[in-house]
Amino acid sequence: MRIAIWLGFGLLMLVWTALSWLAATVARWSADALKTGGVPDLSAVQSGLSGVPEPVKQLLGGDMPEAIVATVQWATQWMEPALPWLGSAVGFLVPLVWVGWGLVAILLVVAAVALHLLTQRLKRFPLPRFT
């Protein structure tokens, strides 16, 4: 049982780390794009996702649907005057993502240790068998 607990912990940590890394990559890319005053050329994004980080390209698969591109174009035009300011404001998200990762990692370790100790304690006191 303890092996299953630690394998589950390792799997959860692996998935949590991958999701946090992806979120930090997207946050960093977004902050850099906003600081320069815009997003990558949307025609390039539509044709091959050239300005998008590699993990996001793999997540999206092929081309982005036209509705998403139209929405991004509309939002970019609407927010264009505030883009440089938003870039510096969004820059704090990358450290915040990793702080959140650390807090959840601590909770997962505490849960795994608690389950480990619980199984050790229950092993000393066998459950009654009803026949």
Q: Is there a domain that residue 70 lies in?
A: yes
Q: Is there a domain that residue 52 lies in?
A: yes
* Residue 92 pLDDT exceeds 70: yes
From the centroid of its chain, how far is CA 91?
16
Percent share of the chain, pLDDT over 90: 33
Count structural domains, the chain: 1
Q: Is there a domain that residue 94 lies in?
A: yes
Q: In terms of residue numbers, what domain contains 30?
A: 2-124
Higher pLDDT: 91 or 27? It is 27
**pTM score above 0.75:** no
CB 84 within 8 A of CB 47: no
Q: Is there a domain that residue 131 lies in?
A: no
CB 53 within 8 A of CB 26: yes
Q: Is there a domain that residue 130 lies in?
A: no
- Least confident among 8-17, 35-44, 97-106, 118-127: 35-44
* Residue 76 pLDDT exceeds 80: no
Round the average pLDDT of the chain to a whole number and report it: 78
Q: Please, which pLDDT band fits residue 42 given cuts at 50, 70 and 90?
A: very low
Instruction: Give the side-chain half-sphere CA count within 13 A for 37.
Output: 1
Q: Is there a domain that residue 80 lies in?
A: yes
Q: Is there a domain that residue 92 lies in?
A: yes
